[in-house]
Structure 1
Amino acid sequence: MFHYLKYFLFHIIGLTAASFLFLGDGWVIYGLIAVFSTYIVLDAVLGDDTTVPKFKHPVILTTQLWFALPLLALITFAFLWQVSSADLFGAGALIQSVTGIDVLASRAEGGAGVAFAAIILTGLMIGLIGTITGHELTHRTWDPTSLFIGRWLLAFSFDVAFAIEHVYGHHRYVSTTKDPATAPRGRNVYYHILRSTISGNISALHLEKERLNKTGHSAFSLRNSVLRGYLMSAFLVALAYLAGGVEVMLLFVAAALFGKSLLEIVNYMEHYGMVRNPETTPVQPRHSWNTNKRFSSWTMFNLTRHSHHHAQGEVPYHELRPYPEAPMMINGYLTTIVVALIPPLWHALMTPKVQHWDKHYASEEERILAQEANAKSGIRSLMKAA
């Protein structure tokens, strides 16, 4: 029973974030700090989870994923309500009548700092609730319901194109120069966010055009799932506009773009500096940075077990193995995100890991590719090893 319940931590975090957004004022700021602190502290003290339990009722685990869509819709509504001047659908009055808490008065006391914290908290939830679950669901190409829900989850971060590029592009070319999401050695994370976003969308459009051409259809039609994805995101933006005009719409766009940025930061972390020849070497567990930190694993549907995921992309999250012998990230996901956002600290911690990978994980061919990557990295210690 516990192994089913542990994945509901994901939903508890989402509901807690929505509660903070409704409470407003300082609660939004405290909630943001609490979420980051919880991940960083618990990943540090709880250690690794290397269990692979057997599940007799996998339908429960799939249903847990589907719950992410109404949960993210609730979080987004709470955000729009918080940054709007109107009491949307009478939510504030309803909360006060049930709990006795005057959330409308609390909202009125919030300022620019609260609005900024709300953007970051909502963007974090779009990444956590939306992108992580959307990633898992859009891999289930055999299940129309999962694909439908997964694509709508990705629409909140303007990234339905991810469902195409990630599954059919990234998984094929990961850890090579052909993959937009794989950051070469020495790249700055902020540049990577921009570069990977643009290149990833171009790749998705190209892949979808190839698919449609094979069936005799034009890429400029609603048969194009990437274009439909853009329309899905535009629909959400339009709802934000209806909720509070241009200002509320722009605040939602900011939260969505932050959620999208988190995806690219995670891509940066998961494959930074890896090299591989796609023509001669299939993807193996050693071509992804892994982590088995317990709290991240339980609340992110084992996204942390990235080495196995890339070795066998069709395996559902609850069957992923921990691969403790795989190359390891700095720590859990949010901790590593914080480190990645400080480039000098990132390179100081990751350069030794990359050098260790070259020595202990790379094949002979990959060591040659690594030397070429080191020479281009701009990092002195790597360039010396080239």
Structure 2
Amino acid sequence: MLKYIKFSLFHLLTLPFLIGITLGGYWMALGVTAVLMVVVLGDVLLGDDSSEPEYAMPWLLNGLLYSSLFFVILLFGLLLWSVAEHDLFGYGQWVMHWTGYNALAAREANQWWHFLPVLLGAGLLISIVGTIPAHELTHRTADRSAMLIGRWLLAFSADCSFAIEHVYGHHRYVGTAQDPATAPRGRTVYQHIVRSTVGGNVSAWAIEKQRLVRQQQALFGYHNRFLRGVGMTLTLCIVAFSLAGWPGLLVFCVSATLAKALLEVVNYIEHYGIVRQLHQPVRPYHSWNSTKRVSSWASFNLTRHSHHHARSQLPFYQLKAYPDAPDLPTGYLGSVLLTLVPPLWFRLMAPKLQQWDSRYGQNTDAAG
């Protein structure tokens, strides 16, 4: 049963965040601290996991994916409660009734700096709890329920265009100059966040425009998935403002921006410096992998990225580890932290890229 339970780790990571907001003050750093400690240290202490078990109850794993929307809404609601002028949803009274703790008084005592780790934690958790399951669901293009829930999950990071560009753009152009999500060597993660965000949206709009032309549909209308995605995020903005005023809108926009930025950092580590000619088929060596145990559990096997690009329609629980594929210096979140110091990231990746060139560079004219 552990092979099923392990993928519920991302659910559990929401609890310290919710508890921290409820307790207020310096406890509001509990969420982001817990995520960093569990995932980063867990990868260091628990090592690798290349197992490929069979799953007789895939419905249970799919249930974990679909339930992520509930947890993101819960995060969203409590984030708004933390800045609302009134006791939104009666949450403070509910806490007082069941625990005797005066959460409303604790909230009133919060200072602006207490919200810095909350916003970091919200962005991090929206990425883990929202964007990662959305990535899996929006690959299931024939399943309307999966697409609907996946797109709503992406709306919390203002990134519904990801469901277009990633599936129909990135997977086609990965490793080439045409792919905005593939970072060339020497580009810092900060440059990449901006360039990939802009390039990804431009690409998504172009892909959707081509689709609508083929189907003889109006560009500016309901059938435009790009515009519908913008509308979904605007709906969340309206909800945030309606429930918690300008502070609510501000915390939502900041957390969504951070979540989107983190997605681009993940894109950065997954394909940094790897090159491919457009005529070449996508191979396992066109992605950086990680077999770190906790990263795999917390990301629905997104770390098995080589197999994902080879067979993008496979559900996450059927992905193979590919232990011989190029590997990251550490797990996903640890690698994300390394990118924040570009000289350190470049130094760690230089020998890995040299090894990549020596093994695979003869297959492309762009290596080196």
Aligned amino acid, residue 354 of structure 1: L
TM-score if structure 2 supplies the norm length?
0.98
Q: Compute the RMSD of aligned alpha carbons.
A: 1.0
Q: Find the aligned partners of 1:365 and 1:288 in 2 and give their Cα distance.
A: 15
Q: Find the aligned partners of 2:31 and 2:166 in 1 and give their Cα distance.
A: 32
Q: Conserved in 2, the CA contact under 8 Å of 1:68 and 1:133? A: yes
Matches within 5 A, 1:248-287: 248-279=248-279, 281-287=280-286
1:5 is matched with which residue? 5
TM-score if structure 1 supplies the norm length?
0.93
2:342 is matched with which residue? 343
Q: CA deviation at 1:247?
A: 2.5
Matched, 1:152 2:138: no
1:26 is matched with which residue? 26
Q: CA deviation at 1:23?
A: 2.3
Q: CA deviation at 1:8?
A: 1.2
1:186 is matched with which residue? 186
Q: Find the aligned partners of 1:85 and 1:17 in 2 and give their Cα distance.
A: 21
1:369 is matched with which residue? 366
Q: Find the aligned partners of 1:101 and 1:304 in 2 and give their Cα distance.
A: 40
Partner SS for 2:264: helix
Q: CA deviation at 1:186?
A: 0.3
Q: Conserved in 2, the CA contact under 8 Å of 1:339 and 1:345? A: yes
1:86 is matched with which residue? 86
Matches within 5 A, 1:120-269: 120-269=120-269
Aligned amino acid, residue 326 of structure 2: P
Q: Conserved in 2, the CA contact under 8 Å of 1:83 and 1:115? A: no
Matched, 1:302 2:305: no
1:56 is matched with which residue? 56
Q: Find the aligned partners of 1:22 and 1:287 in 2 and give their Cα distance.
A: 44
2:107 is matched with which residue? 107
Q: Find the aligned partners of 2:31 and 2:70 in 1 and give their Cα distance.
A: 21
Q: CA deviation at 1:15?
A: 3.0
Q: Conserved in 2, the CA contact under 8 Å of 1:22 and 1:79? A: no
Q: Conserved in 1, the CA contact under 8 Å of 2:13 and 2:34? A: no
Q: Find the aligned partners of 1:21 and 1:290 in 2 and give their Cα distance.
A: 34
Partner SS for 2:303: coil
Structure 2 gap segments, 5+ residues each: none
1:35 is matched with which residue? 35
Q: CA deviation at 1:220?
A: 1.1
1:383 is matched with which residue? none
Partner SS for 2:367: helix
Q: Conserved in 2, the CA contact under 8 Å of 1:284 and 1:307? A: yes
Partner SS for 1:178: coil
Q: CA deviation at 1:248?
A: 2.2
Q: Find the aligned partners of 1:283 and 1:228 in 2 and give their Cα distance.
A: 31
Q: Conserved in 1, the CA contact under 8 Å of 2:95 and 2:101? A: yes
Q: CA deviation at 1:365?
A: 3.7
Q: Conserved in 2, the CA contact under 8 Å of 1:302 and 1:320? A: yes
Aligned amino acid, residue 161 of structure 1: S
Matches within 5 A, 1:307-386: 307-362=306-361, 364-366=362-364, 368-371=365-368
Q: Find the aligned partners of 1:369 and 1:353 in 2 and give their Cα distance.
A: 16
1:381 is matched with which residue? none
Q: CA deviation at 1:219?
A: 1.4
Q: Find the aligned partners of 2:149 and 2:15 in 1 and give their Cα distance.
A: 19
- Larger deviation, residues 173-182 vs 108-117: 108-117
Q: Find the aligned partners of 2:180 and 2:197 in 1 and give their Cα distance.
A: 8
Per-residue CA shift, 1:77-132, capped at 9, x if unaligned? Answer: 11111122321011111111111111111112211221111111111111111110
Aligned amino acid, residue 212 of structure 2: L
Structure 1 segments (4+ residues) deviating >4 Å: none
Q: Conserved in 2, the CA contact under 8 Å of 1:209 and 1:218? A: no
Q: How many residues align?
A: 368
Q: Find the aligned partners of 2:302 and 2:194 in 1 and give their Cα distance.
A: 23
Partner SS for 1:67: helix
Structure 1 gap segments, 5+ residues each: 372-386
Q: Conserved in 2, the CA contact under 8 Å of 1:22 and 1:81? A: no
Q: CA deviation at 1:14?
A: 1.9
Q: Find the aligned partners of 2:277 and 2:359 in 1 and give their Cα distance.
A: 17
Q: Find the aligned partners of 1:117 and 1:87 in 2 and give their Cα distance.
A: 22
